[in-house]
């Protein structure tokens, strides 16, 4: 019996499409590829310089001797190892596709003030041809921006105890109303946010002047398995990944979690699997998603970074069976941790009105639950490798 046709939110059948996914080998790309292979009939042309995180989708599964095993999605995902900075094959791949999803970027805060040129080139200059090819060839584009484009909240400029700081209009971030507030130019941290803002403005202008069909996604701290790397295990020893992998690394090595400037910044965390549901809705409902910018986050999962460290310490103790450290956290200055030119957003609460109205999407997973499944993955994937690495004698 043929499988029932999948329907979009307006009751129309969803037709199979070809998606050129740039940055498909990264954290978000790997989860999106998994979802598209497991639940949809779509084909993915996966573009990246790395493929480790999607290897399990690309390589054939193991089979009994003499037999060739196939994934159920066999033939629907192709990997194209290319650097979009300088590869003429990119336009051909975009032309072959119905939709391009651009995820490629340098997006680790430790790079923004230490490698500002690479950050600006990656997030603005390298994205330009992608936008141009989509516009010239009348192809739809879903572009990944960031919640960092909002910068600091209006409330952060009020005195500490000012009552207006508690009013939502002074801190809730709305796609169509909130301003983008960055620090001065020598605060190079804002190089990333500023490059993302300019590419958003360019895409928006391509829509307004040349009819580009676009959707812009502003992720608010999506976390889950396969995010970044663990220094010295599957990434450089001196590398500084985003906060989830930094704290995981400390927990795995039984070191105190480093809190930058006391960990007072507030963040909302959303589980990657919830967020991917939102991206699938955008992908399959173009009439509802085109022309929109969407916040994708979980306003109910707000904590300070210090509270995040404390919860991760408790959850890790539960999943690993190890007792928590006596001194679980250590304060470090941002200058010591990130270097000169660092600065930060104080608070990030996404307004959910637009995504709710257009796509009916809501996040589901609590902070505790998403940390439990993520840290279970981190423990299973890395604990043994870390134990072995730490047991090796240090060369004198
Ligand atoms: P990621 O670093 O895991 O993935 C990015 C991928 O892009 C990597 O695999 C990288 O190899 C690839 N890439 C970078 N430059 C490339 C190039 N020149 N050619 C080919 N491939 C290239 O990051 P992620 O968390 O998956 O983020 C994806 C997008 O979402 C980024 O644009 C990021 O700015 C945005 N974003 C993510 C979050 C989050 O919470 N994860 C938050 C805000 C914004």
Quote the ligand 1 centre to 312 CA distance (angstroms).
24
Give the ligand 1 atom nearest the CA of 53: 9
pTM over 0.95, yes/no: yes
Q: How far apart are CA 1 and CA 378, in angstroms?
A: 41
Query: Is residue 74's pLDDT more than 80?
Result: yes
ipTM topping 0.85: yes
Q: How far apart are CA 349 and CA 371, in angstroms?
A: 19
pLDDT band at 5 (very low <50, low <70, confident <90, very high): confident
Domain boundaries, the chain: 105-383
Predicted pLDDT of residue 395: 60
Quote the ligand 1 centre to 122 CA distance (angstroms).
10
Q: 192 an active-site residue? A: yes
What percentage of the chain exceeds 70 in pLDDT?
A: 98
Predicted pLDDT of residue 376: 98
What is the rounded average pLDDT for all residues in the chain? Answer: 95
Quote the ligand 1 centre to 382 CA distance (angstroms).
22
**Mean pLDDT, residues 217-239 taken together:** 96
Predicted pLDDT of residue 287: 98
pLDDT band at 1 (very low <50, low <70, confident <90, very high): low
Torsion of CA 150, 154, 160, 161, to 10 degrees: -130
Burial class (CB in 10 A: 0-12, 13-18, 19+), 109: buried
Q: How far apart are CA 306 and CA 265, in angstroms?
A: 8
Q: How far apart are CA 381 and CA 396, in angstroms?
A: 29
pLDDT band at 3 (very low <50, low <70, confident <90, very high): low
Q: How far apart are CA 380 and CA 387, in angstroms?
A: 12
Q: How far apart are CA 371 and CA 344, in angstroms?
A: 23
Query: Is residue 26's pLDDT more than 70?
Result: yes
Query: Is residue 61's pLDDT more than 90?
Result: no
Q: How many CA atoms lie within 13 A of 279 on its CB side?
A: 33
Give the ligand 1 atom nearest the CA of 102: 32
Quote the ligand 1 centre to 26 CA distance (angstroms).
6
Burial class (CB in 10 A: 0-12, 13-18, 19+), 294: buried
pLDDT digits (tens, 9 = 90+) for 329-357: 999 999 999 988 888 899 999 999 999 99
Q: For the CA atoms of the chain, what is the radius of gyration?
A: 21
Q: Which residues line ligand 1 (CB under 6 A)?
A: 23, 25-29, 48-50, 83-85, 103-105, 107, 122, 126, 144, 146, 219, 221-222
> What is the CATH architecture of 105-383?
3-Layer(aba) Sandwich (3.40)
**Mean pLDDT, residues 267-291 taken together:** 98
Q: Considering the candidates 133, 192, 316, 342, report the single residue annotated as catalytic.
A: 192
């Amino acid at each position: 019996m043929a499988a029932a046709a999948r329907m979009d939110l307006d009751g129309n059948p969803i037709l199979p499409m070809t998606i050129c996914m740039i940055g498909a080998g990264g954290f978000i790309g790997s989860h999106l590829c998994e979802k598209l292979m497991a639940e949809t009939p779509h084909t993915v042309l996966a573009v990246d310089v790395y493929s480790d995180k999607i290897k399990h989708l690309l390589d054939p599964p193991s089979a009994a001797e003499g037999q060739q095993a196939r994934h159920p999605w066999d033939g629907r995902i192709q990997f194209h190892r290319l650097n979009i900075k300088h590869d003429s094959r990119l336009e051909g791949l975009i032309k072959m596709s119905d939709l391009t999803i651009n995820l490629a970027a340098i997006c680790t805060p430790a790079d923004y003030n230490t490698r500002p040129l690479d950050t600006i080139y990656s997030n603005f200059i390298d994205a330009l041809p992608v936008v141009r090819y989509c516009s010239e060839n009348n192809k739809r584009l879903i572009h990944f921006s960031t919640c960092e484009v909002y910068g600091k909240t209006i409330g952060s400029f009020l005195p500490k105890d000012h009552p207006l700081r508690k009013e939502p209009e002074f801190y809730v971030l709305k796609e169509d109303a909130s301003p983008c507030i960055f620090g001065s130019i020598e605060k190079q941290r804002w190089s990333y946010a500023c490059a993302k803002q300019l590419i958003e403005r360019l895409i928006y202008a391509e829509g307004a002047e040349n009819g580009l069909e676009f959707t812009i996604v502003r992720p608010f701290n999506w976390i889950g398995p396969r995010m970044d790397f663990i220094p010295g295990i599957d990434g450089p020893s001196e590398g500084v990944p985003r906060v989830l992998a930094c704290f995981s690394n400390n927990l795995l090595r039984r070191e105190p979690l480093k809190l930058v400037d006391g960990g007072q910044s507030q963040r909302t965390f959303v589980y990657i699997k919830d967020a991917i549901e939102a991206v699938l809705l955008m992908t399959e409902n173009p009439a509802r998603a085109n022309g929109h910018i969407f916040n994708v986050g979980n306003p109910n999962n707000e904590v300070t970074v210090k509270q995040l460290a404390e919860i991760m310490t408790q959850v890790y103790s539960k999943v690993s069976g190890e007792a928590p450290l006596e001194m679980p956290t250590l304060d470090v200055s941002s200058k010591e941790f990130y270097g000169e030119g660092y600065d930060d957003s104080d608070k990030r609460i996404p307004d959910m009105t637009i995504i709710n109205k257009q796509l009916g999407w809501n996040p589901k997973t609590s902070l505790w639950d998403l940390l439990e499944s993520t840290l279970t993955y981190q423990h299973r994937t890395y604990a043994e490798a870390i134990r072995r690495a730490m047991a090796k004698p240090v060369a004198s």
